[in-house]
Amino acid sequence: MVVFYFLTPLKMNAKITHHNNDGCVIEIKIPYGKTMLESEELILKSLNEAGSLATGEALKQFDTDGSPIDIAGQKWTTKGKIFKTYETPYGKSRIERHVYQSSKGGRGHCPLDKKARIIKTATPRCAKILSSKYAEFGSRRVETDLKNNHGLSLPIAYIQNISDIVGSIASIKEDYWDYELPKIDQEISTITFGLDGTCVLMSGDGYRQAMVGTIGFYDKEGVRHHTIYTAASPEYGKKTFLQKLEHEIERVKKEYPTVNYIGIADGAKDNWSFLEHHTKEHILDFYHASEYVGDAGKIMFKNSYEKQNEWMQENCHNLKHEEKYAEDLLQKVRNFEQQQGEELSLDNKDRIQSIITYFTNNLPRMQYAGYTKNNIPIGSGITEAACKVIVKQRLGSSGMRWKDKGASVVLLLRCLSYSSGRWEQFWNKIDKFGFSLAS
């Protein structure tokens, strides 16, 4: 219960008028400002003050009464109540709580911090807010956002530290905490697996490839209802990333044992060596195939943009809708190469041969007509988009250089945030089970 008093501009304050085990009553004095905006800022400041008080009272519910406690068969006794300042979504809250120590001495233990799921000195919701914002923006931008929009002042180093700890918790629990898939009203008939990479500037190591994986859930009409994202910072051999994606694939297959699984990717050999272990049907991304069709047209009709365009339109349409047209297209390009012979420049010979090799290697993956007819996706658009959204938008800003740990934290937080439902599930699990990093 909150009681508002509208007074002339005096010193603002909030005070607890009553509290018991069920909650507390706080009285707030809020002055008017000279303008509406100023009044709103004063209201926010007063409500934050009340929120800090209420949070302090809520925290006390998780403290002990000072009695000795047993930890792993060892007796711990309180050193007495010691003050600690906690960061909350409303500002700082300073309270006294019991700190325990064993008879052997050493590091103290605070039951309140463990029971209340305190992360360093941040309350759970405060840590949730900071890490959510940090997943979207750089720490300097988060600092500005908190100050401008929430009336909070937190150092950049603190924002980064809390976000790093949250990311570490997510990483440690990744193999143990299963996330439930959303309840989808429509029947899922096709699930696609895709992976791709995009470059990130790493500190002291130049541009390296960060990997992104997607799992898309489609109904029989071809409508995508859910996407799971996974990513990893640049690494030689991609071992960590592939393990992450494989773990997600195994979980999904347990939930959907009978659906049609399809691998969709560009022509990179490494992508297919992975996808072929997990899917029986494989589709070369139609956009990448179309680029090669267009390249062939530019060589065949180098003096006519109109004919290049006609070639592109006709052959891409046929490739998409006519059965086994990929074989016909490949033969057209081969015929052109044979007919032109020595008339082709050395550069164009190499380009045509590259197109022929690309089509030859991917021919079984270019049978688009049947998939199109059955509303099965033929493009890796969600994976291409994930490279931009999950990686580039956050890690690719001007002047950014990343160390492996920092990039890993951000990518993990973004994957949790962008995979619908997972962010809330992650925090619900922290709330329920706790974590090993409580201080």
What is the DSSP code string of 145-178? Answer: HIIIII-----HHHHHHHHHHHHHHHHHHTTT--
Contact residues for 291 (Cβ-Cβ < 8 A; gap 6+): none
Cα of 79 vs its chain's centroid, Å: 42
Which segments of 103-184 are extended strands (E)?
none
Task: Average the pLDDT over 28-57 and give the result.
Answer: 95
Residues 273 and 291 in one domain: no
* 181 belongs to a structural domain: no
pTM, rounded to two decimals:
0.90
Number of other residues whose CB lies within 10 A of the CB of residue 42:
16
Query: Looking at the domain assignment, is residue 183 inside a domain?
Result: no
- 339, 351: one domain: yes
Give every CB contact of residue 89 below 8 A, 6+ residues apart in sequence. 51, 55, 123, 125, 126, 129, 150, 152
Whether residues 109 and 168 fall in one domain: yes
Rounded Cα distance between 212 and 265, Å, is: 12
> Distance between CA 360 and CA 367 in Å, rounded?
13
Cα–Cα dist 350/363, whole Å: 20
The CATH number assigned to the domain holding 395 equals 3.30.420
Is the pLDDT at 8 greater than 50? The verdict is no
Phi-psi region of 150 (alpha: psi -120 to 50; beta: other; left: phi over 0): alpha
pLDDT of residue 437: 54
Q: Poorest-confidence range of 11-15, 35-39, 430-434? A: 11-15
CA nearest 232: which of 431, 409, 113? 409
As a whole number, mean pLDDT of residues 119-123 equals 97
Q: Count how many domains the chain has.
A: 4
**Count of residues making up the chain:** 439
Strand bridging mode 13-20 / 23-31: antiparallel
% of the chain with per-residue pLDDT over 70: 97
How many whole angstroms separate alpha carbon 260 and alpha carbon 281? 8
Quick: pLDDT tens for 384-398: 999 999 999 999 988
Please indicate, yes or no, if residue 345 is contained in any of the structural domains. yes
- The whole-number pLDDT of residue 382 equals 96
Kindly state the helix (H) or strand (E) to which residue 100 belongs, with its residue range.
strand 91-102
Verify that 119 and 140 share a domain, yes or no: yes
**What's the rounded mean pLDDT across residues 104-112?**
91
Sign of the CA dihedral running 55, 61, 65, 68: negative
Neighbour-count burial of 322, counting CB atoms closer than 10 A to its CB (0-12 exposed, 13-18 middle, 19+ buried): middle
Look at residue 288 and tell me whether its pLDDT is greater than 80. Answer: yes
What pLDDT was estimated at residue 12? Answer: 53
Task: Say if CB 260 and CB 281 are below 8 A apart.
Answer: yes
Q: Are residues 215 and 352 in the same domain?
A: no
In a shared domain, residues 87 and 169: yes
DSSP for residue 402: B
Do both 112 and 246 map to the same domain?
A: no
Question: Is the per-residue pLDDT at 438 higher than 80?
Answer: no
Residue 137 is assigned to a structural domain of this protein: yes
Residues 223 and 354 in one domain: no
Same domain for 258 and 238:
yes
Quote the CA–CA distance of 81 and 97 in Å, as a whole number: 5
DSSP assigned state of 102: E
Query: What single-letter DSSP state applies at residue 119?
Result: B
Q: How far is CA 105 from the centre of its chain?
A: 42
Residues 339-374 pLDDT 10s: 987 888 999 999 999 999 999 999 999 999 999 999
Instruction: Decide if 438 is inside a domain.
Output: no
Residues with Cβ < 8 Å from 130, sequence gap 6 or more? 122, 142, 154, 159, 162, 163, 166
Please check the confidence at residue 248 and state whether its pLDDT lies above 90.
yes
Q: Are 56 and 204 part of one and the same domain?
A: no
Confidence band for 5, pLDDT divided at 50, 70 and 90: very low
Structural domain containing residue 83? 69-175+428-433
Does 103 share its domain with 234?
Answer: no
Return the closest-CA partner of residue 395 out of 127, 129, 134.
134
Domain identity same for 246 and 359: no
What is the separation of C-alpha 332 from the centre of its chain, rounded to a whole number of angstroms? Answer: 44
**CA 57 to CA 93: how far, in whole Å?**
9
C-alpha 1, offset from chain centre: 37
Residue 383 has pLDDT above 90, yes or no: yes
pLDDT value at 1 more than 70: no
Q: Which stretch of 234-238, 348-352, 402-406, 433-437 has the lowest confidence by average pLDDT?
A: 433-437
- To the nearest whole number, what is the mean pLDDT of the chain? 93
Band of pLDDT at residue 4, cut at 50, 70 and 90? very low
Closest CA to 435 of 248, 168, 61: 168
Q: Residue 11: its pLDDT value, please?
A: 59
Radius of gyration (C-alpha) of the chain in whole angstroms: 29
Of 181-195, 291-305, 323-337, 425-439, the least confident: 425-439
370-373 long-range contacts (CB < 8 A, ≥24 apart) are 370/323, 371/262, 371/283, 372/320, 372/321
In a domain, 328, yes or no: yes
In a domain, 91, yes or no: yes
The end-to-end CA distance of the chain, in Å, is 32
pLDDT value at residue 427: 98
- Beta-strand relationship, 23-31 and 2-7: parallel
404 domain-assigned: yes
Where are the alpha helices (H) located in 194-303, listed in sequence order? 239-255, 269-275, 286-300
The pLDDT of residue 439 is above 50: no
